[in-house]
Structure 1
Amino acid sequence: MAAAEGLSRGAGWKRHIVKALKQRDRRQKATFQDVIQAYNRLLENTSFLLHLTGKIHTEFTDPQISHASRLPGVALPLPSSPEELQAMKQQYQEQVAELQSTGGELAYKIIELNKSLVAKDDKLEEQEARVSELDEEISQLEASRGCVRGQVERQERENAAVRQGYHVLLRCHQQQEEELRTAVHKGEELLQEMVRKKEQDAMARNQRNERKVHSRLTKEIRKAARKTVNIDMEREDLTAMDPKALSLDIPEPQDSERKINRAFRSASATMLSSSKFVETFKEIFDFRKRRVNSMCSPREDVYPRVPVCIASSIPAKAIFVLEAHDSEVNGVKFSPDSKLVATGGADRVIKLWDVVGGRLQRVQTLDGCGGSITSVEFSPSGNRILAASSDKAAHLWKLDSSKCKDTLTGHGDKVTAAKFKSVVHQAVTGSMDRTVKEWDLHKGACLRSINVPSFCTDVVCSDYYIISGHHDKKIRFWDSRVTRCTEEVPVQGKVTSLSINQEQTQLLSCSRDDTLKVIDLRMNNIRQVFRADGFKCGGDLTRAIFSPDGNYAIAGSADGTLFIWNVTTGQLEKSLQGTHSASVNAVAWSLSGEYVVSIDKKRTVVLWSAF
């Protein structure tokens, strides 16, 4: 049908061209029709005059010719004298010459017009040939158009089938997402129920233990109340007495170092009733009166203090370079004894390296993480590693096992930082879901979730505060004894990292305005700002740290250069360049002060030393 329509349109166009050519011929012919008729009349008149002149000449030269032989019906004026005849002859000759001249001009015009007509006929033939070629080309294009239209129709049918399949898959995907959300919600409910049951079991166990302790204390106090103590006894006599007679078997609190090493000063003590003894000892040894909401209660178990570095050596040269991971390296940390280095990257594994003779030798690989690792941290005891990951969780390993021991889930987005607290079995994580969470590592449960106004990029923990850095260019201080932020310190750029010195008196922040700032934690104000020509923060999670002795601050730049500032003078101490070829993501300084390790976006790990 489409081909027939195309052919009819092509034929109509041809007829239009032929019609236009015929109209042009008619117009040109009508233009010269009068000239042709006038020329024909002129030829007839010329022939007639030639004939008449010859005849008149014959008659005048031969008078014998009778008038009867003249043309009938032609009345010619007869000259009366030879002079008139001569004048008439001259007049006719002039007319004949004029007619001949006019006829010649007309003949020339006719020749020119014939030439133009021939040229136009040739042009018309060329146009007709061109029309034929165009007709053939139109036919070919129509055929090609039909093929293309068929392909388009087939493609549309295929697209419709693919679209229908896509809608079916989309509905299945939406249904599966709904099922996943339902399963996740049920899992969270089950997890909360499990945690609640564990808490209830712990409370019940604590109550049973308290009842047992209370019962044992009551018996021991009653037993002790029935004994009589001689106030005149010497210390040696008391020491020689049966310990069971004097001991009440009462657990001593951890923060108390005093021992009951002397007898009562008054015999009236033996007259106290057992109920009064119970109340007195309950006030002294009631463990329920701890400040469970404080950051680090004096009665809680805390990690032993890490030895303080006396002096850090400023790194001067790269002594070992290797390609440590399969992709970008994001986190690095020295162990407390400075013998191990942990690195973690986008390849989802943590690698442990032994520092031996100025080289890094891999000793262990920790896997089990479901996303890119953003930071790594050794516990203060050095036997565990905590890593933050982009799979919305933090992961905990023991060094004696390469498998993940525990996973801290509950964040809704990428976890950017995970740090151990000074209290044993507790940790803190920060995430891009705008929350900071405190965790009980023994139970694997979240103790508290803090909603923050902006993305959290890093966290550090002191004995009394949790400090978090954010994308809204602010550093916030949180105290577990209250439910709100206790202090905010604004900076001029998005915070990328935080580092606290050993004395917990200064805080180092790195931000996207290409500066490092030292904050006095006693006054909560900015004390120093470090800048340098060529230093540029390479990413939103670029890490800068204090040296172990707190005298220096080190950070990596986007061009691969390491910059070291003197905290005391505020001046740039040294810059190390030429080893890294990509942006430096993080640095770590050994607690011994001897080595520095830096990592970059091109999987390179560099060990630096002063010697």
Structure 2
Amino acid sequence: MKLSDSVMRSFRVAKLYKDQNTERINSIDFSHNGETMISSSEDDSIVIYDCLEGKPKKTLYSKKYGVDMIRFTHAVNTVIYTSNKMDDNIRYLSLHDNKYIRYFSGHTKKVVSLSMSPIDDSFLSGSLDKTVRLWDLRSPNCQGLMHLQGRPVASFDPEGLIFACGVNSELIKLYDLRSFDKGPFTTFRLQQDRDCDWTSLKFSADGKLILISTNGAVIRLVDAFSGQPKQTFMGHLNQKGLLLESSFSPDAKYVLSGSQDGKVHVWNAENGTKTAVLESKHCESPMHCVQFNPKFMMLATAAQHMAFWLPSIDE
């Protein structure tokens, strides 16, 4: 099945998991093979889902440190995550035996951006201390440090050769991983978002586009090579400054975002038109997390409850 407007409009909640979390889910991530998904929640829980069978497999807890952003490494049985209690360290956890493999210390304020390299054991973290750090899973020591002029968001490109840092909600700086210490090789300046802050930055799977989520009413789409603004997506509700995730479909033809009223908004990435507004079964809670499975025709959304969506038509 290929994604089309009619397929996107046909997505319905196939499974709703109401008993896994008592507070809002703050982060979700799919494994590279699409077979497993993981969530973190304000209730300090980490839930592992089997995407093939559509059911939760295991729940772990991070009661002492809390858990905020969570990302799979290249192994489906290990993750890295940030904390929302105690300290600003990043933790490397084995899901198999619920044991920490390593801590990554250095940030002095809350970590607000976390990106795993698509090709090796390196990862990026950005913090409210106005730094972006480059790490390697095999070493507790920071491999690189960039001081920036504002709140950063950072992400690897799909080939893992360059990474982008969004700074102060107006600049995108591109770095070559092999020579990042020489500074960015290009900088794009966008019109500054005065009413909101950039909260995440994602590359499309083909590396041609950059999607910028904000804590306001706009989502921006930028050409990754020229820095030219391509689209501004609006229409979803975000009047409370929430961190609502926006994501690409795997073919980068569509952009999806959660909304304050629990709906999922879908836009055409090429022409910017609204393709669909999908009604969820999350009640009317804000939809914080929205991601497409990278391998299967499946969508995951999270508010306080996790939902798996499937298309209801065959094409």
- TM bin, normalised by shorter chain, reads 0.7 to 0.9
1:469 equivalent in alignment to 2:166:
yes
Residue of structure 1 in register with 2:274 after alignment: 572
Q: Residues 356 and 484 of structure 1: is their aligned pair in 2 closer, same or farther, counting only changes over 3 Å?
A: closer
Contact residue 36 and residue 76 of structure 2 kept, 8 A: no
Residue of structure 2 in register with 1:585 after alignment: 288
Contact residue 338 and residue 591 of structure 1 kept, 8 A: yes
Q: Residues 468 and 345 of structure 1: is their aligned pair in 2 closer, same or farther, counting only changes over 3 Å?
A: farther
Question: SS at 2:270's partner residue?
Answer: coil
The structural deviation recorded for 1:516 is 1.6
* Distance in 1 (alpha carbons) for counterparts of 2:24 and 2:164: 27
Instruction: Within 5 Å, give how 1:39-438 maps onto structure 2.
Output: 311=3, 314=8, 316-323=11-18, 324-357=20-53, 359=54, 361-368=55-62, 370-390=64-84, 391-438=87-134
Contact residue 498 and residue 545 of structure 1 kept, 8 A: no
Question: SS at 2:107's partner residue?
Answer: coil
Residue of structure 1 in register with 2:187 after alignment: 487
Q: Residues 382 and 524 of structure 1: is their aligned pair in 2 closer, same or farther, counting only changes over 3 Å?
A: farther
Higher strand share: 2
The structural deviation recorded for 1:429 is 0.7
List per-residue Cα deviations over 1:457-515 (Å, max 9, x = no partner). x3210233222334544433333414434414324241122221111111111223412
* Distance in 1 (alpha carbons) for counterparts of 2:256 and 2:89: 29
* Distance in 2 (alpha carbons) for counterparts of 1:407 and 1:368: 14
Contact residue 553 and residue 567 of structure 1 kept, 8 A: yes
**Structure 1: any 5+ residue segments left out of the alignment?**
1-308
Contact residue 214 and residue 243 of structure 2 kept, 8 A: no
Q: Residues 595 and 422 of structure 1: is their aligned pair in 2 closer, same or farther, counting only changes over 3 Å?
A: closer
Q: Residues 367 and 409 of structure 1: is their aligned pair in 2 closer, same or farther, counting only changes over 3 Å?
A: farther
Q: Residues 474 and 522 of structure 1: is their aligned pair in 2 closer, same or farther, counting only changes over 3 Å?
A: closer
Contact residue 366 and residue 404 of structure 1 kept, 8 A: no
TM-score (norm 2): 0.85
Q: Residues 578 and 525 of structure 1: is their aligned pair in 2 closer, same or farther, counting only changes over 3 Å?
A: same
Question: SS at 2:120's partner residue?
Answer: coil
**Structure 2: any 5+ residue segments left out of the alignment?**
none
Residue of structure 2 in register with 1:606 after alignment: 307
Aligned pairs, number: 297
Question: SS at 1:519's partner residue?
Answer: strand
List per-residue Cα deviations over 1:159-210 (Å, max 9, x = no partner). xxxxxxxxxxxxxxxxxxxxxxxxxxxxxxxxxxxxxxxxxxxxxxxxxxxx
Question: SS at 2:99's partner residue?
Answer: coil
1:454 equivalent in alignment to 2:155:
no
Instruction: Work out the percentage of aligned pairs sharing the same amino acid.
Output: 19
Residue of structure 1 in register with 2:203 after alignment: 500
* Distance in 2 (alpha carbons) for counterparts of 1:496 and 1:367: 26
Residue of structure 2 in register with 1:548 after alignment: 250
**Which residue identity lines up with residue 466 of structure 1 in the other structure?**
F
**Which residue identity lines up with residue 563 of structure 1 in the other structure?**
H
Contact residue 199 and residue 213 of structure 2 kept, 8 A: yes
* Distance in 2 (alpha carbons) for counterparts of 1:369 and 1:436: 27
**Which residue identity lines up with residue 447 of structure 1 in the other structure?**
Q
Question: SS at 2:28's partner residue?
Answer: strand
**Which residue identity lines up with residue 100 of structure 2 in the other structure?**
C
4+ residue runs of structure 1 moved beyond 6 angstroms? none
The structural deviation recorded for 1:383 is 4.1
Q: Residues 561 and 332 of structure 1: is their aligned pair in 2 closer, same or farther, counting only changes over 3 Å?
A: same
**Which residue identity lines up with residue 550 of structure 1 in the other structure?**
A
* Distance in 1 (alpha carbons) for counterparts of 2:248 and 2:240: 19
* Distance in 1 (alpha carbons) for counterparts of 2:237 and 2:189: 23
* Distance in 2 (alpha carbons) for counterparts of 1:332 and 1:604: 12
* Distance in 2 (alpha carbons) for counterparts of 1:364 and 1:326: 16
**Which residue identity lines up with residue 414 of structure 1 in the other structure?**
K
Contact residue 113 and residue 200 of structure 2 kept, 8 A: no
Question: SS at 2:68's partner residue?
Answer: strand
Question: SS at 1:568's partner residue?
Answer: coil
* Distance in 2 (alpha carbons) for counterparts of 1:538 and 1:331: 18
List per-residue Cα deviations over 1:355-392 (Å, max 9, x = no partner). 245x3x22123444743423222224534322222230
The structural deviation recorded for 1:397 is 2.2
Q: Residues 469 and 586 of structure 1: is their aligned pair in 2 closer, same or farther, counting only changes over 3 Å?
A: farther
The structural deviation recorded for 1:331 is 0.1
Q: Residues 377 and 440 of structure 1: is their aligned pair in 2 closer, same or farther, counting only changes over 3 Å?
A: same
Q: Residues 510 and 537 of structure 1: is their aligned pair in 2 closer, same or farther, counting only changes over 3 Å?
A: farther
Residue of structure 2 in register with 1:536 after alignment: 238
TM-score (norm 1): 0.46
Contact residue 88 and residue 111 of structure 2 kept, 8 A: yes
The structural deviation recorded for 1:592 is 2.4
Contact residue 345 and residue 374 of structure 1 kept, 8 A: yes
Q: Residues 565 and 537 of structure 1: is their aligned pair in 2 closer, same or farther, counting only changes over 3 Å?
A: farther
* Distance in 1 (alpha carbons) for counterparts of 2:56 and 2:71: 18
Match of 2:222 among 516, 519, 543: 519
Contact residue 73 and residue 121 of structure 2 kept, 8 A: no
List per-residue Cα deviations over 1:335-362 (Å, max 9, x = no partner). 22222110001222311011245x3x22
**Which residue identity lines up with residue 562 of structure 1 in the other structure?**
V
List per-residue Cα deviations over 1:33-63 (Å, max 9, x = no partner). xxxxxxxxxxxxxxxxxxxxxxxxxxxxxxx
* Distance in 2 (alpha carbons) for counterparts of 1:319 and 1:538: 29
**Which residue identity lines up with residue 226 of structure 2 in the other structure?**
M
Q: Which has the larger radius of gyration?
A: 1
Q: Residues 400 and 512 of structure 1: is their aligned pair in 2 closer, same or farther, counting only changes over 3 Å?
A: closer
Contact residue 216 and residue 242 of structure 2 kept, 8 A: no
